[in-house]
Amino acid sequence: MDKIEIGGLQFGWELEKGRFTYENEDAVLFWISSAMREFFDTIEEISGEEVSNLVFETTGYRQGVVVGNYFQNKPDVGLQKAAELITNTYASAGWGRTKITNLDPEKRTLTAELIDSWEHKINVAQGKTAGGLFLPAHYAGIFSGMFGTNIWYKVERYQLEGHESTIIHYFPSEITVAENIHQLARKKESQQIMELEAIVEDKTRELKNLVRDLSSPIIPVLDHVVVVPLIGKYDEERSEELLFKTLENLPAYKARYLLLDLTGLDKDIGQYTANLISKVGSAASMIGTKTLLVGISPDLGLKISNSGISLASFDCFQTLQHGIHYALGQMGKQII
């Protein structure tokens, strides 16, 4: 293996095996502005920008914790010296230049200044307007491991915004990558629930419209005689729809007799239904149409009587056929 030493760090190549080492550990090299950019672009394309940012942040943090734990287990290496070793090592690996300042072991705070990092170069190649989260979170992970407590970050500025460097402040915090993952998951679940609720609302509206159109059609059975079947149970909304639809269409059929067929009516007849029948009859009579009630079975008649609802102002018939024959007879006609 061919080896060289740069800045006290070992690089090695074993071409016949296609192997590259960095400090005697297997490593790989990628072009930042092409191969690595394509890698980042692909993750964002598949996952979306919000999820990708969390992936990069979480990965950067957890990789940093591994590095921080390594140095925490080396008490002979002071905190300041460890920070220098890490930044020098990263610089030799092409991570850009990082300066650690204001390092306070007691308060567990520090500031990092990143200059020409690989993440910055990728963001430039991507045409981004906001900096990435991998490296800010990575140093948070490093010092979380070194301090033995959770450290988080706040970016003061990004080099991508036109500054000479990226400035990041680090401090103890209860913010964790695990909590961020859970928050995103809850946000996604909430969005999915809202989307499902919207779909259900749309389908419910379509179903209501369909029921409204089909449940109470106006059926012209003979000249000047129309039938409106009452189906199911009527609330205020359905009652108003039927009343409006019936009165709007009666003149078009020149109806002299309107037969309200109660055969399909809900057996627990309520006040809305009773009021509907009364309103239809009164309004129809004002435009010259007489209302007959048909399809009243003995059971329904008993329930109407027991409910205290009075339909005495209407001519009532047990079947639709009886009502039609009566209407024709009133007009001097008969079915032969």
pTM reported for the whole predicted model: 0.59
Residue 56 has pLDDT above 70, yes or no: yes
* Residue 202, domain member (yes or no): yes
pLDDT at 168: 96
Q: Is residue 336 part of a domain?
A: no
Please state, in angstroms and rounded to a whole number, the distance separating the CA atoms of residues 176 and 182.
Answer: 10
Range of the structural domain that residue 103 is part of: 31-175
Same domain, 23 and 75: no
Q: Do 110 and 195 share a structural domain?
A: no
With a CB cutoff of 8 Å and minimum separation 6, the contacts of 221 are 227, 259, 324
Helix (H) or strand (E) holding 295: none
Q: Please check whether residues 153 and 35 belong to one and the same domain.
A: yes
Shared domain check, 242 and 223: yes
The whole-number pLDDT of residue 146 equals 92
35 occurs within a structural domain: yes
Q: Among 297, 304, 295, 289, which Cα is nearest to 322's?
A: 295
Whether residue 69 lies inside any domain: the answer is yes
Amino acid (one-letter) located at 141: G
Same structural domain, 49 and 59? yes
The per-residue pLDDT for range 15-39, each reduced to its tens digit, is 888 999 988 889 888 898 898 999 8
Final residue of a structural domain among 175, 201, 232: 175
Q: How far is CA 118 from the centre of its chain?
A: 34
Would the pLDDT of 260 be above 60? yes
Confidence of residue 156 (pLDDT cuts 50, 70, 90): very high
Verify that 23 and 72 share a domain, yes or no.
no
Q: Identify which of 65-79, 169-183, 306-320 has the greatest average pLDDT.
A: 169-183
Distance CA 324, CA 294 (A): 9
Flag the least confident range among 42-51, 217-226, 235-244, 285-294.
Answer: 235-244
CA 51, distance to chain mean position in Å, is 14
Q: Is the pLDDT of residue 203 over 60?
A: yes
**Count of structural domains within the chain:** 4
Tell me the per-residue pLDDT of 287-301, one tens digit each, with 9 for 90 and over. Answer: 999 999 998 888 777
Instruction: Specify whether 192 is located in the same domain as 94.
Output: no
